[in-house]
Structure 1
């Protein structure tokens, strides 16, 4: 038995030298996270991460979750998940309540892996692959006077760095300008680079269908979050109207939240985030639900090296979708905006080479945390 002795939340934040924005209009001036550290009585430490506002996640954990799991067996990861979910569901079955559980769940899997001397992917079913193709997320809106030029320059930089897939932002309030920007990027990177677009749910259903049909001529692989995540009926309309794939779900939580999305095939690709949707435990259930209904699962990722490592283990244990001779392995989202917690928090950083990222093979998450980074960026 490896009982839980202590739960600590590290809230960290770092300024961004070059602020950026998406269609939502929020200007990202900082990068931050709530890092969860769980220690057992025999001295094993597990690390997790919560997506979303860090102080809110910390409040949930400190006041609702941590006191309930002290003294519990860290190997009882599913038991703990159900205990915490049923404790909180009268007050919130999605959102930050679930993001906070996600950080705990990831940390527990890290402990289990370290205790067994095995990487997490070996404990959740095994590894279908030793490396994954990564796509670069970027091409946000930075210089409003050079929106096309900056997008082309950044896309060419990603291509030069070895990426074979790129996701760019759209939703500038002018669909014709969006189309011109996508067209310029496609012409610059050529036909061999996979290209996706992400609207961050800024369009109406008619707008999404209209711009989606225009985007198809540029061989866009998927159209991410075209409309508001609450509008499942609208997603069904958009998905049925377009030939290219429609993706979404980064704003959804737990198997219950994804149930209607996959049963109704509201989108072709669901994108649960392991740091938000309920951790590794719950994302495995979401992926199984998607597979049973012929829907692809390509997880969303946005955070530190901890969330990135957890996503890699989740991806390692996902079969090709659908299985075939050549296969269609799920992609890793590797956002490229300034983020010291992605680049510096792990002593050996997780990096892509020739568009691929290796699955960690060390025990647990397979990374070693640089505590000096936590100390340097800690929010007091």
Structure 2
């Protein structure tokens, strides 16, 4: 970001977001089309949209056409605990705090069973496995999870761009197949959607190319009748950007929120979840600047 992108953008018109975004993707593709190059461009794009909102005196959702909702259901995204008893305990804690959706990061059936037993029958249970398995392994695992009413199985296969494998897995079980947090740009999402690989697409605003690229991905999802449910286990600007994007989305979906006690909140109480819901920020740009005190106290370098 500092040595490759900054020299290309300092002094440019910060309001020319779309043109600058397209130009940088072309100029920088020689250094790698995806991965850290697009991650850095994502950060720049989010910052430019924040600047545009502040310059206009409007929240980001107004710039994007206006919010269709100002409150979002949140789902509790748990850490990986491995031990079924602990998984059940944390799942029950989330349900007690008002979450109607709980996502695990577990890979073993006893942990999934413990979570299902710990939350109400009507609560949605999702399982994110972080790309561990071959197709044969994923088939066996999905079969073991099937009795536990899993709403979606997330990223079950390695590598994450194995769209043919995901497509083969999809439809064999009642649970949906979700993926997309490791994809960059709308082009990779187009390939995944054309392969009929998923029921739920999960672009990450900090990886896909920022707000600009997220809007393209949502349009693709709508055309393919695939749910658009962004990946957002963040604490910084990426989380605020996701709230705005979900606020303006055509279809209402829950926002992912890391579950646990946070020692400090970079945006104060702006991202507080109450009764399983979170308010969409209404201040200019992303809605609030990060706390200088938190940034100072938790700086690592």
SS for the counterpart of 2:186 is helix
Listed as ranges, the matches of 1:53-132 within 5 Å are 61-132=1-72
Structure-1 separation of matches of 2:116 and 2:184: 33
Deviation at 1:139, TM superposition (A): 4.4
Measured after TM superposition, the shift of residue 351 of structure 1 is 1.0
Alpha-carbon shift at residue 346 of structure 1 (Å): 1.1
Q: Which has the higher contact order (CA 8 A, sep 6+)?
A: 2
Deviation at 1:179, TM superposition (A): 1.7
Provide the secondary structure at the position in 2 that maps to 1:62. coil
Pairs within 5 Å for 1:1-380: 61-141=1-81, 147-171=83-107, 178-228=108-158, 229-320=160-251, 329-337=252-260, 343-380=264-301
Could you list the runs of 5+ residues in structure 2 that have no partner in the other structure? Answer: none
Gaps of 5+ in 1: 1-60, 172-177, 321-328
Q: CA offset at residue 338 of structure 1?
A: 6.0
Which range is displaced more, 297-306 or 112-121? 297-306
Partners of 1:139 and 1:220 lie apart in 2 by 17
Q: Partners in 2 of 1:117 and 1:128 — Cα distance? A: 19
Q: Is the 2:164–2:195 contact (alpha carbons within 8 Å) kept by the matching residues of 1? A: no
CA contact (8 A) 1:270 1:296 kept: yes
Asked whether the 8 Å contact 2:95–2:120 carries over to 1, the reply is no
Say which SS state the counterpart of residue 89 (structure 1) adopts.
helix
Is this contact kept in 2: 1:265–1:295, CA < 8 A?
no
Instruction: Find the counterpart in structure 2 of residue 33 from structure 1.
Output: none
Aligned positions, number: 300
The answer for the alignment partner of 1:50 in structure 2 is none
Q: CA deviation at 1:359?
A: 0.6
Distance in 1 (alpha carbons) for counterparts of 2:275 and 2:80: 23
Query: Cα deviations across residues 161-208 of structure 1 (Å, max 9, x unaligned)?
Result: 11111001222xxxxxx2222112111212021110111111221221
User: Aligned-pair distance for 1:290?
Assistant: 1.4
For residues 314 and 98 of structure 1, the distance between their equivalents in structure 2, rounded to whole angstroms, comes to 19
Change (3 A) 1:167 1:339: same
Q: C-alpha separation between the residues in 2 aligned to 1:67 and 1:92?
A: 18
Mapped contact 1:209–1:242 kept (Cα < 8 A): no
Q: What is residue 51 of structure 1 aligned with on the other side?
A: none
CA contact (8 A) 1:347 1:370 kept: yes
RMSD: 1.5
**Structure with the higher strand share, 1 or 2:** 1
- The structure carrying a bigger helix percent of its residues is 2
Distance 1:349 1:305, change over 3 A: farther
Tell me how far apart the structure 2 counterparts of residues 312 and 350 of structure 1 sit (CA, whole Å): 9
TM-score, normalising length from structure 1?
0.76
Q: 1:118 to 1:270 in 2, by over 3 A?
A: same
Alignment check: 8 A CA contact 1:224 1:248 kept: yes
Deviation at 1:73, TM superposition (A): 1.3
Matched-pair contact (CA < 8 Å) for 1:347–1:367 = no
SS in 2 for 1:252: coil
Distance in 2, matches of 1:347 and 1:219, equals: 36
Q: CA deviation at 1:211?
A: 2.0
What's the TM-score, normalizing by structure 2?
0.95
The alpha-carbon deviation at position 226 of structure 1 amounts to 0.6
